Amino acid sequence: MKKIAMIGAGSMAEALISGMVKNQLLEPSNIWVTNRSNQEKLQELKNTYGVSTSYQLQELCQDADAIILAMKPKDALNALVTIKDLLQSQTVIISVLAGVSINSIERILTKPMAIVRAMPNTSATIGKSATALACNEHVSTNQSVMVEQIFQTVGLSKFVKEEQLDAVTGLSGSGPAYVYYIFEAMEKSAIELGLEKELVKDLIIQTFLGAAEMLSTTTKSAGQLRKEVTSPGGTTEAGLQTLADHGVEQALISCIKEAAAQSKRLGEAISHEMESKVVKR
């Protein structure tokens, strides 16, 4: 790829810029960035990563292999209407806009364009995102490979059906917050048992890292690994029984399902609002 343009310069945009530059996906000067009006932020990105910045949208869009939509969802309609006549047929549109459907983007652009929706999570800022990707029928094999390469610079990326993105949002999109929640509970209990806070933090982090590494390097299921460390009458069994007594498994299942349902509700509301504005125009 020769050029990537990015509209929006928030935390996710910066995570992607950092990942692409660090992994030498393309020359930093071939990453073009703009935002609505924050010139100070653009200058900061230029100084930090060596990217190109511009408020001239024709310059930004010209010969771009990909244009990444990274603005706030409420600003998407105006941005798309502004650039739609500047888009070239070889360009793939990549949206990281939560809740904005491919169909909504297609209706605004009013012409066949390759479009990919991406659902990264906040761990993209450290290169550890779990990103789901969904595309329309205009995305070529080469474009899908290119999009995967972009998001692999900030972690794992996998293609799914667009209708599965709400489930992905409930699972991995919101997932880091669930882990932090469990971390907080473990930390609180350990401190109440008399351990020092800094020691507790290190122990919990290493426990999480070790368990994740075990899952990623073995063919055994999580259930098998759990059974292997659960001795009859032992400490682990006692702890797990308490979790079962408090319905923690069902609570986590309900948590993810409700987050997915909320993602669907929000997405439908955003898409409806955008499409109603398109009709008014």
Cα 216 to chain centroid, rounded = 20
Q: What are the pLDDT digits (tens) for 180-219?
A: 999 999 999 999 999 999 999 999 999 999 999 999 999 9
**Residue 224: which domain range?**
173-259
Q: How far apart are CA 147 and CA 225, in angstroms?
A: 35
pLDDT of residue 279: 60
**One-letter identity of residue 164:** Q
Q: What values do phi and psi take at 95, rounded to 5?
A: -105, 125
CB atoms within 10 A of CB 123: 19
Q: Are 35 and 91 in contact (CB under 8 A)?
A: no
Q: What are the pLDDT digits (tens) for 216-231?
A: 999 999 999 999 999 9
In terms of domains, do 12 and 139 share one?
A: yes
Q: What are the pLDDT digits (tens) for 31-59?
A: 999 999 899 999 999 999 999 999 999 99
Asked if residue 191 is part of any domain, the answer here is: yes
CATH number at residue 116: 3.40.50.720
**One-letter identity of residue 233:** G
From residue 165, how far is each of 173, 209, 247 by CA, in Å?
9, 26, 27
- What pTM does this model have? 0.90
Asked if residue 264 is part of any domain, the answer here is: no
Between helix 39-49 and helix 11-22 the angle, nearest 10°, is 20
Q: What angle do CA 187, 188, 193 make, to 5 degrees?
A: 95
In terms of domains, do 142 and 224 share one?
A: no
Cα 177 to chain centroid, rounded = 13
pLDDT of residue 275: 73
Last residue of a domain, one of 165, 198, 226: 165
Q: Are 90 and 115 in contact (CB under 8 A)?
A: no
Q: Looking at residue 171, what DSSP letter applies?
A: I
In terms of domains, do 161 and 186 share one?
A: no
Asked if residue 266 is part of any domain, the answer here is: no
Q: What are the pLDDT digits (tens) for 87-134?
A: 999 999 999 998 899 999 999 998 999 999 999 999 999 999 999 999
Q: How far apart are CA 160 and CA 147, in angstroms?
A: 13
Give the strand order in the sheet containing 4-7: 52-53, 31-34, 4-7, 66-69, 92-95, 114-119, 129-135, 155-159
In terms of domains, do 11 and 141 share one?
A: yes
